[in-house]
């Protein structure tokens, strides 16, 4: 599954969390893994949006910053 498809698949994160729950991570490993997954998701979405907006500005103005 491509990264873009994963971001648009609403069940992907829920499925990933279910897999982590079933693996019985010890202690607060669950929170650590969830935090890493969440941080990467936010980072990916933020980067994608910034790139798309930058391309829109360049297209609209006809030049870069």
Token pair in block for residue 1: 């599954």
Q: How many CB atoms lie within 10 A of CB 25?
A: 14
Is a pLDDT exceeding 90 seen at residue 9?
Answer: no
The domain of 56 spans 3-61
Q: What digits encode the pLDDT tens for the residues 16-49?
A: 777 767 766 666 677 788 888 889 999 999 999 9
Read off the pTM: 0.52
Number of structural domains, the chain? 1
Token pair in block for residue 48: 């994608």
Angle, alpha carbons 26-27-31 (nearest 5°): 100
| CA gap 65, 60 in Å, rounded | 12
Token pair in block for residue 36: 């890493």
């Amino acid at each position: 599954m491509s990264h873009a498809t994963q971001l648009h698949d609403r069940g992907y994160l829920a499925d990933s969390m279910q897999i982590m729950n079933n693996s019985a991570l010890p202690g607060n490993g669950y929170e650590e893994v969830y935090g890493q997954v969440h941080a990467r998701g936010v980072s990916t979405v933020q980067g994608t949006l910034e790139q798309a907006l930058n391309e829109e500005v360049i297209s609209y103005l006809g030049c870069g910053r």
